[in-house]
Amino acid sequence: MMIAQRLYEGVELGDEGSVGLITYMRTDSVRVSPDALTEVREAIESTYGKDFLPEKPNEYKSRKAAQEAHEAIRPSSVARHPDEIKKYLQEDEYKVYKLIWQRFVASQMTPAVFDQTSIDIEAKAASESFTFRVTGSVLKFEGFLKVYEESKDAKDEEDEALKHKLPALEVGQKLTLRELKPEQHFTEPPPRYTQASLIKELEEKGIGRPSTYATIVGTILNREYVNEDESKRLRPTRLGLLVTDLLVGSFPDILNVEFTAGMEDELDKIEEGTENWVTAIRNFYKPFEKDLAEAEKSMPSVKGEGQKTDLVCDKCGSPMVIKWGRNGEFLACSSYPECENTKNFVYTEDGSIKIDEPEAPKEPCPKCGKALAVRFSKFGKFIGCTGYPDCDYKQSSKAPPRSIGMVCPDCGKGDVQERRSRRGKPFFGCNRYPECKFATWDPPILEPCPDCDAKYLVEKVTKRDGRFRKCVQPGCNYREAMEEAEAVNA
């Protein structure tokens, strides 16, 4: 939403000056002005041909209570092709603008045409004959797919789509058996939500508005109710499951999809003037007031009492409980504040917990001679003196910075080292900090950019483009595959 806000407010486009590239983005309207329709239809016909232009503009039906005060989210002018203004945009701005431009143009093009096809493949083995059948579609006319094809959410969805895309074949054509896979398939549960599929589900259920989706997803991630796994799927944390169980158990009338979507409808009716807001609030608050009073009495206070475990405090013998702090879950003595013993723990594969006590350093404190111990703070793990607060000696337990053998391109004196941020993310910076502020997230390469005056390049790796190097200067589009660059150097 912040990137779209910048595109809406205006971006410097050279001699044109500051130009607002998109229309207002906090809307779910699909209405398009006549001037914009005329412009996009002319662009489609001149660029792709008459076959891609429908006889009359495509019209779409807005969902109930859409924010029709604004137009649909679209480019302010289709004439500003994303690739032509790319040099003026940051990478994320270009991606968002390109997405909006492509979707708008595609929305006014003719549909794609597929032939629904069933293919029977006869195979003979010795004296027996077998018939294999596959049913799917063959693309006959690209239509709007010439401009935009919606990406799939996950690998399993891509695989499913590929199964139904067939090559063009002819009757009687001989096929070569490359591989035979005897596989058995079972019904699988639906995949977990990604950020995109969660927003799509909220939209279909009538929950939220375009301006609130980013906040919803940001809240559940920042509060660690869910985490993203390697495949970008949202998996609930134990905290998220606990909060959900407590709230749904105490407020079943409110924490459900029907109530949320129904409340959206009521607010729309109040806005339209067809329902009295006092009556609507009274109908909501009366039952909620009773549930709230009951929850104050019966809902367990997990923050104060904690979740009971089978572990025992090694200092006083009281049971240990799981509590939640700013850095996540930890074990605490149930006799707090009389006993302030706390421990870190980890979950085992079977779901049980065990205390996670890192091995304490053997050497004594170099400052006072007392024993050292591993401690934890909001910035992570560190080694500190057991004589604190009388002795404030501490050292980080992180690995020391590693030199990459490169002279700092900013100051020309320091050594560039691989370091870690407070949150543990690796980055590269000058060892003369704070005198020199050079830092980059990507591995730097001490070679000047051939297209501009940048002193160094950076190395990046993506699934789509593989390993490549690119310029760090805003507005410079230099990039080159690492294999090609290494071959030229060799």
Average pLDDT of adjacent 10-residue blocks, the chain of 490 residues: 90 90 88 93 93 92 65 93 92 93 95 87 84 84 88 52 69 88 83 90 81 85 85 85 87 84 82 88 89 86 72 86 74 85 76 71 82 69 80 70 82 84 78 87 85 84 74 83 54
HEC per residue, 318-372? CEEEEEEECCEEEEEECCCCCCCCEECEEECCCCCEEECCCCCCCCCCCCCCCCE
195-298: CATH architecture? Orthogonal Bundle (1.10)
Its pTM surpasses 0.75: no
Q: What is the pLDDT of residue 105?
A: 95
Q: What is the pLDDT of residue 487?
A: 47
Q: What gap in Å lies between CA 219 and CA 120, rounded to an integer? A: 52
Cβ contacts of 417 within 8 Å, gap of 6 or more: 401, 402, 403, 404, 428, 429, 430, 431
Q: What gap in Å lies between CA 244 and CA 224, rounded to an integer? A: 13
Q: What gap in Å lies between CA 105 and CA 270, rounded to an integer? A: 36
Q: What gap in Å lies between CA 442 and CA 457, rounded to an integer? A: 9
In single-letter form, the type of residue at position 458 comes to V
How is domain 2-107 classified at the CATH fold level? Answer: Topoisomerase I; domain 4 (1.10.290)
CA 102 to chain centre: 21
Q: Which two tokens stand for residue 187?
A: 């019904």
Q: What is the pLDDT of residue 44?
A: 94
Q: Which two tokens stand for residue 32?
A: 């398009």
Helix ranges (H only) for 22-174 are 34-48, 91-107, 155-163
Q: What is the pLDDT of residue 453?
A: 79
Closest CA to 432 of 411, 414, 407: 414
Q: Which residues, listed in sequence order, are joined to residue 420 by a DSSP beta bridge? A: 426
Q: Which of 8, 24, 148, 388 is catalytic?
A: 24
Give yes or no: 24 in active site.
Answer: yes
In single-letter form, the type of residue at position 114 comes to F
Pairing of strands 345-347, 342-343: unpaired
Q: What gap in Å lies between CA 111 and CA 109, rounded to an integer? A: 7
DSSP string across 201-232: HHHHHT-S-HHHHHHHHHHHHHTTSEEE-TTS
Q: What gap in Å lies between CA 98 and CA 269, rounded to an integer? A: 36
Strand, coil or helix: 395: strand
Residue with tokens 């940048």: 454
In single-letter form, the type of residue at position 377 comes to S
In single-letter form, the type of residue at position 291 comes to D
| Run of H or E residues at 294 | helix 277-298
Closest CA to 52 of 131, 118, 141: 141
All structural domains of the chain with their residue ranges: 2-107, 113-163, 195-298, 304-396, 402-489
Between the two ends of the chain, the Cα-to-Cα distance in Å is 45
Q: What is the pLDDT of residue 22?
A: 94
Inter-residue contact 172 to 141 (CB < 8 Å): no
Q: How do the residues of the chain divide into helix, strand and coil, expressed in percent and rounded to 5?
A: 30, 25, 45
